[in-house]
Amino acid sequence: AMVESGAARAAVDVAIALLRSGARVIVASEDGPLNNELQGLGGEWVRLVNETGNPLTLKRNAGTIAELVAEERVNLVHALGVGASRSAAAALKKRTGVPLVHSYAVADLDSDYRDKAYGRALAAGDRILAPSGYVAERIATLHQIPDSKLTVIPRRIDAMRFDPPAITP
């Protein structure tokens, strides 16, 4: 959902960077306050319930994503979280040439069991982004993902927010 969270903020930040480079950005997610920021900067939004394990919703989501990829000539799909990753992997299963990148939600490490369907979805992707070396190691162990598919991209720090002259007493 486009609410103020690390995952949604990361999605908006990536969208902003892509928009600045001249790319077209379509975000498929649940609504929230960050949606206004995304659309105000030129991004597009499609409602999609990603936080689900319901097989019928996942199948419907996969169809929606497949339609977007085909109709909007999408060049890259980036999924975050279990539901989004499973839907995106199912949508792109028969499509070649459209890369699938997963960003691993750190909250997904809290589960004590290995979600085999999530592991298959991750393995179907071209790359998995992790916020730290620790998380990358846990992904590799928990989901049997080869290191060659993992890339560590540390989370950002808003330097402007911590700029001493910008802080009032």
The pTM of the whole model exceeds 0.85? no
**Residues paired with 102 in a beta bridge:** 79, 128
Q: What angle do CA 20, 95, 98 make, to 5 degrees?
A: 20
pLDDT in tens, the chain (169 residues): 888 887 788 788 888 888 999 999 999 998 999 999 999 999 999 999 888 888 899 999 999 999 999 999 899 999 988 889 999 999 998 776 799 999 887 777 776 556 788 889 999 999 999 989 999 999 999 888 999 999 998 876 666 767 778 777 7
Q: Residue 94: exposed, middle, or buried by beta-carbon count in 10 A (0-12, 13-18, 19+)?
A: exposed
